[in-house]
Amino acid sequence: MAVLSHDEIIKLLDSKTLQIAPLNENQIGPGSVDLRLGYIFRVFKKINKVVTVDDNTNYKDLTEEITTKKGENFLIQPGELVHAVTIEKVSLPSNISARIDGRSRFARLGLLTHVSSGFMQPGTSGKIVLEMANLSPIALAIKPNTKICQIVFEELKGSAKYSGKFKDQSRP
């Protein structure tokens, strides 16, 4: 597998083989594309019980969705984990996979923009759901529309198709 360069990403976007929308050209870097933080978040409910974690555990039973207004920041408290979604929808062809990575400028503040599950299967289409955590001792106000993470594309040998549970996810 090889990481795609700026020029290869542009070629795939121009041919509509790879789709990212909406997308500004200034989001495309030398080997990745910056994705922006959306306005929809999912936070944990304040509950006082032990939750068994297994294949049947549904995170939606433990969380609630919050939508911020344009111009409004979202506050993440120290130690808090929230789900968020990107503005962009990404559609991968069957021979391209992707990885979501945080940006160091935010990691230096203690903000992890993607805790786990950073691999995007070939053939996946949807907005990217982020698992964001504040590891700092201070509250962080994050601003929707900020370039919050980056996506790196890799070409597979052969092709594959993903048809899993989160294939066309658009909300956190």
Active site residues: 131
Q: Residue for token digits 């795939």?
A: 12
Residue 129: DSSP 8-state: E
Q: How far apart, in whole angstroms, are the C-alpha atoms of residue 118 and residue 86?
A: 13
Strands 2-3 and 147-155: antiparallel
Reading the block at residue 12, the tokens are: 């795939």
**Quick check: 112 and 130 in contact, CB under 8 A?**
no
Reading the block at residue 74, the tokens are: 């979202």
